[in-house]
Amino acid sequence: MTNEMQFKTIVAQYCEVKPEDMKNDMRFREDLGFSSLDFMSFLGELEDTFDVELEEEDVLKVLTIEEALEMMEKLQQEA
């Protein structure tokens, strides 16, 4: 499974959209129905799965799947 698919599989645990139907410009709150708690729990799950450490200041700016993927890619490159 690619990182992107693995990422979307985690996203799918929190919403009603299947990983294969997710578009990268979808917004977590408006399009996928994440609450603030969902989003923050999801970030914790990302940290555990991909073994990265997210900066609180950065994650609060993330709105779409694409932005989250870019953030993850950057963090994994730095690691």
Partner 1 sequence: MRDYYPLTAAQKMHHNWIQDYKTQQVSGVSVVASLKAALDFGLLKKCIQLEFARYGCMRVRFTKPDEKGQVKQYIVEKETRDIPLKDLSGMSMGEADNLMQQWAYETFDGDDIPLCDVTMVKLPEGFNGFFIHMDHRLIDSCGLVVMINDLMQLYTHYRFGSEFPKDLADFEMVLEKDLKKANNEKRLAKDKKFWDDQLDALGEPLYSDIQGLSVLEEARERHGNKNLRAADIELKDLFVEVKDYYLEPEPTKNLIAFCMNHQLSMTNLLLLGIRTYLSKVNDGQEDITIQNFISRRSTHDEWTSGGSRTIMFPCRTVIPADMEFMAAAYEIQNVQNRIYMHSNYDPALIMDEIRKRYHTPEHTAYESCYLTYQPLPVKMDNPHLEQIPQHSKWFANGAATKKMYLTVSHTEYGGMNFSYHYQTAHLQEHDMELLYYYMMRILFKGIAEPDMTIGEIMAQV
The set of residues, in sequence order, having a beta carbon less than 8 Å from that of 14 and lying 6+ positions away, is 32, 34, 38, 41, 42
Which of 8, 26, 42, 71: binder of partner 1 (CB under 8 A)? 42
Least distance (Å) from partner 1 to the CB of residue 60?
Answer: 7
Q: Are 74 and 52 in contact (CB under 8 A)?
A: no
Q: Which 8-27 residues touch partner 1, going by CB under 8 A?
A: 13-14
**Residues engaged in binding partner 1 (CB under 8 A):** 13-14, 29, 35-44, 47-48, 53, 56, 59-60
